[in-house]
Amino acid sequence: MSPVAGPSGPQDAYDYTEGASPIDINNALAYSRRSSQLSVYNDDEGTVFSGPGHSVNPSSVTRMSNLDPARRSWSRSRRKSHDSGISGRPSIERRLSQDSQHTQVSGQDSEEEDGDAGSRRRSSRGRSRRSPSPGPVRPSVLGNWASLFGKTQTTQDSRRLSISSGRSSASLSRRSSRSDAGSDYAVETDDDERWGYSSGEAESDGESSGRDDASMARSMEYNSEPPSPIMGQGLPLLTSDPVFGGESRIEMEFSFTELEPAPPGPPSRQQIYVEEDDSTVRLMGYEILLWRQWLWRIGCLFTFGILGLLGHWFPRLWLGSVTREKAFKDIRQGFVVVESSNRDVVLVSLRKLDYPFPVTTVFPSLSSDQSSSGSFNKTGETYDAETRMLHSLIVVNYRYSRFALDPRNGLFYVMRNWRDSSWTSSSVLQAGLQENTRRQRATLFDKNEINIEAKSAIALLIDEVIHPFYVFQVASIILWSLDDYYYYAFCIFAISVGSITTTLVETKKTITRMREMSKFNCKVSVVVGGAWVELDSTDLVPGDVINLSSSQLSVIPADMFLLGGDAILNESMLTGESVPVSKVPVKDEDLVKWKDGKVENSKSFIYGGTKVVRIRASTTNDGSQGRPALALVARTGFDTTKGALIRSMLFPKPIGFKFYRDSVRFIGVLAGIALLGFSISAVQFVRIGLKWQTILIRALDLITVVVPPALPATLSIGTSFAIARLKKSGIYCISPSRINVAGKINVCCFDKTGTLTEDGLDILGVRPLDRNVNRFGELLDDIHDLPLGKDKASFLHALATCHSLKMVEGDIVGDPLDVKMFEFTRWTLEEGTIGRTGVIKAKSGAVTEQTSLVQTVVRPPGSAQFKLEDALKGNAKRAHFLELGVIRMFEFVSSLRRMSVIVKRLKSNSMEIYVKGAPEVMLDICEKDSFPEDYDDLLSYYTKRGYRVIAMAGKSIEGLSWLKAQRMKREQAESRLRFLGLIIFENKIKPGTAPAIQALRTAHLPCRMITGDNPLTAVSVARECGLVNQAAYIFFPTFVRGDATVPDAKVEWTCMDDPLWKLDTYSLKPLSPPLHHTAEADEIGYHDYSLVISGDVFRWMISYAPLETLQRMLVKAQVFARMSPDEKNEVVERLQGLGYTVLMCGDGANDCAALKAADVGISLSEAEASVAAPFTTSTADIGCVIGLIKEGRSALVTSFSCFKYMALYSLIQFTTVTLLYSFASSLGDFQFLYIDLFIIIPIAVTMGRTLPYPRIYIKRPTASLVSRKVLSSIIGQIIITSTVQIWAYSWVRGQEWYTQPPSPDTKDGSNQLESTNFENSVLFLISCFQYIMVAGVFSIGPPYRKPMWTNVLLMVSLSVLTAFNLLVLLSPPQAIADLLALMIIPKAGRLKLLLAVAINTATCILYEGFGSLVVAGLVGQILKGRKSTRRIRETGGKVYKAVEGGMR
């Protein structure tokens, strides 16, 4: 349990309020709550310069400001109404927008930054890389069987365990109207393969570049969402592996399925954007027709359950056959179909809750025009329109989110968006709820628990068995049993049972682990009916007031607003921010904004699931505990931020991967080949006169030959071995499907601090001012050498007070930079808990307000051992002891890049204001004459050498009282300051950084740095670690007119080493250099210069720059500096939009959103929030990137090898069986068993054990099965092996010792075909060598894997099998010959077969090494003429390559 900090011993303290009356204090506090302070920016995305006091808002990572809607990246994460085409929620009073036929509801607010003068809009993109996790389940076995034949709806959607991760893609915006002049190098793509572009960018150049009111009006119509990228028809939803970039990325978010017009009357369809789940869903009401349901059941009976299986796999088939569409409010015996944007369909039942309460307790009030025009606002079974009372409430629970049906308009409402209209003042809310209100809300929101339903083992077994893969397995086993092929059928059955058992055990473990992670309950003190009672945390409801001080919490049980006291929490589980975050009581204006549907202010919002570091009640003047720390419950259960995180793990977005799409299509081609081969064989069977039963069994058996049941399992072998090897090297994967994604990485992005450089900063020293010469003084590394100076605002006092540190159990807690700075002063810190609390009383004497009057007290070394009054006696020996109290703090705001404090010195007549921030912002807030002459030179000196520089400024205000300090606005405090000096921090590069960057650049993998640090410092670190070439010219943009908010602003790109050298502002190519340069402009190559860009220019370019310039900047920039967390996310998305497959490596703090957005995210943090990234490492070094890319490429090549091998194995066996079918013969049972069990399985398993190659090759492996190289290889090997078999078949028939097989007995009752003949023996012997030979040919070694001979198990398997095959061919023991039904072949014939095998092997090896490349090249030459007329999209979507080509 986390202790609640108590007061220190009583001590007389200085009255910092200077005798202000309680009424004055009360007025000052009220004014403080109302004042438009810039410190309430709600800018919580984290620091830019790693300054103090920053926090991260886990529920809604803020997006960039000043984005023109026309240029904003279309993200499926927290999309705005004008972006998504789905109606937004302008206010909480009216979140339901209705047109003449349907209404679409969005959970997205029209958000505004709190207190931001620019009224910044936010378009959050919360990305999640999710871990393998189970989905909600159906409750019973009977329900599973009923779902097959009766399609009984469920209360929770049933979904198979998915291991895929979601990735929301971003895109490049359309060109602005100013760029319509065009460019030869601007890259556009067509709609049908716009894999990285937003749907909003599909329009032609002639169309308007923005979304106007008309487009928003169209978005109100049903089925009018923006067109999604059009995929190939019938693209399978494969949840086993997500998409990844370049030519291999496939967007899986479609437009919803086109439907017939809805029936007239109340709404039966509705689209809802669920903000916290980052998904759009469509709800449709259906009612079951009993006579159709009985017909369906009869059909299932007559088809032996096949129709039921088809209905389970294809729900639309069942819906069209059994149900009809029905209005939501009129459904009696039916359900709601929920369709996600990836066309995943789930049937969910309607629940009817007894709810005799007013309708306004659930739904927001309708506007007057909606109430008057609503034709459905009538009294019904669940609602009385006259009294506006509900009788019952219809709800739908979908993926643990609750939707309630509003009986007034027949539309569903997202219950997570519920707000209490009475939440306007924290003082009013402290009375808590009455018991009847708590019962009402308990019914409405259910229990406050994140309880993941657990399936029984039987239910899991049924779900697993009815999966298409296992259905095919079962069908194959039944077929083999009917064919008397018992041995192999039993072996496959045993393997399948083992596989299913392993899957069930792992699934149960995963469910158990998830349940343990998500469930939590404790005892809490709650106000109920005006009295404190102890309740279980699962009984909490929104509106409950909790006493945090007495509850002794270790983990926060729900999302809450802090009403009183203060708290320090560890939010690493949600945000990855390892620095504890301080919370302050909520202000009334924040509550009002929350009530009106805005996002919460994270500075006063306590997120469920976060760990308590300290909760502290306020204290009174005598040192005793005053008012306790109180909190107001805002969200419970799955509606909390932790619940949304758990839900994102349970239901990751299915995203396609081109390799798997191609593999499914290839399997379809194999099935087609099987049908073609059987059609030819069937003619011969009929001619011979075989029974139809035999013909049918042979046909089905041929399908199992061509499409082997073990094929899907072999594709995951490489990934499994890669995960095991990564784990040994300290890299842990929570999304195994991302292993193959790592094989396609073509750009690596890194955070700087904590990733490329050491996590901790060391103070190199401070540079104070020498006012006598108006220059900087010497670098001081000892605080005792720092002169106090004559001014009251001193550098030393600024260092001691300008921070946001806290003291927890004797330890200083806060930002590492702040901690280092304060430790440098060697002062002592004490929080304002002793006699520094103002008590405000009403006329009745009751306490109405209480606040900390002094936030922090600091003293120089030695002061703590003296009593405070001793320092006030005026004794000269003790006169140097002093005390500084922080009266007020303006917290760090990343957009301002500074923080400030108001400080009162003991017994002083004045107060001092100190500001700490980025050096460049000081120029705007300090008086010009306070800067030394060498300010720019010294700043440039340190930043270019990679040092972190923080500037300090201050001023003294005489006669400033405590009341006036509370009334002061931030812009008043942070103005007309005097510059004090610089703090120089040393941030050393990690030892493994430079070698890793060098290895990546050697492999031609572009590297990018995305940091919040100063551009000069970032460039210095980039050059030091080799990320940027030491000799490269670096160009940096600055505004010469306007700023990031001005569309017509002008940006100038200047060389950092020579300000006279510029870039062309449109093409971003160097202009002619100044005369003193020896190089000419045309001699500066593409790789001779690089770009660095800051966050403000980046925002402007995203919003207003021409598309061509934006594309070139993204391709050419290597350092992105001064980037906030949302801008880091945006950089990743924009790179993906150009076709890059992006790897992001960060420390998991303010990189959380970028780690989620990237194709592959690696967190160097071991905090619980590493769940944000699919990979985490125990060694905080970017060397893990090298290992991951090597393993990814190895796993991808292994998957290709295994697939090609299994495809060749199938076709080799198909050729053998087809030739034997020509005269009604086939392979024997033990021949099949030997091939399938003793040759194929050992080889397929051991092929994946080859280790990755030690170095990263300069080219990536392909991810397309339909590439020229892959198809040339497969088709060529098929032709070679088939030719050898056809030769052997013809050769044996021409030998003098050959005897014809007996004619088949058509009267025999058995369906077996004769297998003892010379053709069978020859083809069997030849094919056994071919299986082994093809394995060797396809066991690709360098440049992605080590040579085949290093795989000991594979070499042993190949050697043993080859030796055994030679034995069987040259001198088979009689027992083996009898078992395999082999004919006796003369020695000369055996040697000739051996020679054929040798020639076959040599031909296949030569073709794979040389021939396939030649054939692929010829095909490329043939297609070259056609490609000249194709657009860029035909290159596989590599837009960045076209952009690079235009800049060379």
pLDDT of residue 228: 29
Q: What gap in Å lies between CA 502 and CA 495, rounded to an integer?
A: 11
Query: Taking the CB of residue 372, how many other CB atoms lie within 10 A of it?
Result: 9
Q: What is the pLDDT of residues 665-720, one digit of tens each?
A: 777 888 888 888 878 888 888 888 888 888 888 888 888 888 776 776 777 788 88
pLDDT of residue 1388: 94
Confidence grade of residue 984 (pLDDT, cut at 50, 70, 90): very high
3 state SS for 1049-1081: CEEEEEECCCCCCEECCCCCCECCCCCCCCCCH
* Residues 829-853, mean pLDDT to the nearest whole number: 50
Q: What gap in Å lies between CA 817 and CA 496, rounded to an integer?
A: 57
22, 965, 1020, 1235 from 29: Cα distances, Å? 10, 11, 46, 84
pLDDT of residue 39: 35
Known catalytic residues are 751
Nearest-Å Rg of the Cα atoms of the chain is 36
Sign of the dihedral defined by the CA atoms of residues 1170, 1171, 1175, 1178, in that order: positive
pLDDT of residue 162: 32
Residue type (1 letter), 1297: W
* Residues 1155-1171, mean pLDDT to the nearest whole number: 73
Q: What is the pLDDT of residues 6-47, one digit of tens each?
A: 333 334 444 555 455 555 555 555 544 444 333 333 333 333
Closest CA to 819 of 1, 52, 26: 52
Closest CA to 287 of 321, 350, 332: 332
Confidence grade of residue 111 (pLDDT, cut at 50, 70, 90): very low
DSSP character string of 462-528: HHHHTSHHHHHHHHHHHHHHHTT-HHHHHHHHHHHHHHHHHHHHHHHHHHHHHHHHH----EEEEEE
pLDDT of residue 576: 53
Confidence grade of residue 622 (pLDDT, cut at 50, 70, 90): low
Least confident of 163-177, 250-264, 432-446, 972-986: 163-177
Residues near 662 by Cβ (< 8 Å), separated by ≥ 6? 1264, 1265, 1266
Q: What is the pLDDT of residues 342-351, one digit of tens each?
A: 777 888 888 8
Helix 457-465 to helix 468-482 angle (10° resolution) is 70
* Contact by Cβ (8 Å): 161, 507: yes
Q: Which of 599-603, 1098-1102, 1159-1163 has the highest mean pLDDT?
A: 1098-1102
Higher-pLDDT residue of 1058 and 1378 is: 1378
Residues near 1395 by Cβ (< 8 Å), separated by ≥ 6? none
Residue 1053: phi, psi to the nearest 5? -95, 120
pLDDT of residue 588: 85
**Whether the predicted pLDDT of 324 surpasses 80:** yes
* Residues 1110-1123, mean pLDDT to the nearest whole number: 93
pLDDT of residue 733: 84
> Alpha helix locations (H) across 393-485?
426-429, 435-445, 457-465, 468-482
- Residue whose entry in the numeric block shows the structure tokens 């051991």: 1246
End-to-end alpha carbon distance in the chain: 62
pLDDT of residue 1334: 94
User: In which element (H, E) is residue 271 found?
Assistant: strand 269-274
Least confident of 605-619, 867-881, 911-925, 1134-1148: 867-881
Least confident of 224-228, 946-950, 1274-1278: 224-228
pLDDT of residue 691: 82
Q: Which of 605-619, 831-845, 1417-1431 has the highest mean pLDDT?
A: 605-619
pLDDT of residue 682: 82
* Residues 289-305, mean pLDDT to the nearest whole number: 91
Prior bond of 654 cis (ω within 30°): no
Closest CA to 1361 of 1277, 1274, 1278, 1237: 1237
Residue type (1 letter), 1132: V
Closest CA to 657 of 1343, 1203, 1186, 174: 1203
**Whether the predicted pLDDT of 424 surpasses 90:** no
Least confident of 101-110, 930-939, 1242-1251, 1434-1443: 101-110
Number of residues assigned to the chain:
1448
pLDDT of residue 1435: 43
Q: What is the pLDDT of residues 779-830, one digit of tens each?
A: 998 888 888 777 788 999 999 999 988 888 778 888 878 888 998 998 988 8
- Percentage, residues of the chain above pLDDT 70: 73
Q: Which two tokens stand for residue 863?
A: 């002061």
* Contact by Cβ (8 Å): 78, 60: yes
pLDDT of residue 371: 52
Residue type (1 letter), 298: I
Q: What is the pLDDT of residues 1199-1257, one digit of tens each?
A: 888 888 988 999 999 999 999 988 888 888 889 889 988 999 899 889 989 999 999 99
Classify residue 353 as exposed, middle or buried by CB count within 10 Å of its CB (0-12, 13-18, 19+): middle
Higher-pLDDT residue of 749 and 106 is: 749
pLDDT of residue 1424: 66
pLDDT of residue 391: 87
Q: Which of 378-382, 977-981, 1414-1418 has the highest mean pLDDT?
A: 977-981
- Percentage, residues of the chain above pLDDT 90: 26
DSSP character string of 515-567: HHHH----EEEEEETTEEEEEEGGG--TT-EEEHHHHT-SB--SEEEE-SSEE
pLDDT of residue 403: 92
Give all strands of the β-sheet with 581-583 in edge-to-edge order: 581-583, 566-570, 611-616
Percentages of the chain per state (helix, strand, coil), in multiples of 5: 40, 20, 40
Q: Which two tokens stand for residue 219?
A: 């978005």
Average pLDDT of the chain? Answer: 75
Torsion of CA 570, 575, 577, 580, to 10 degrees: -20
Determine the distance from the C-alpha atom of residue 842 to the mean position of all C-alpha atoms in its chain, rounded to a whole number.
Answer: 52
* Residues 517-529, mean pLDDT to the nearest whole number: 86
Closest CA to 256 of 236, 239, 272: 272
Q: Which two tokens stand for residue 983?
A: 């703090």
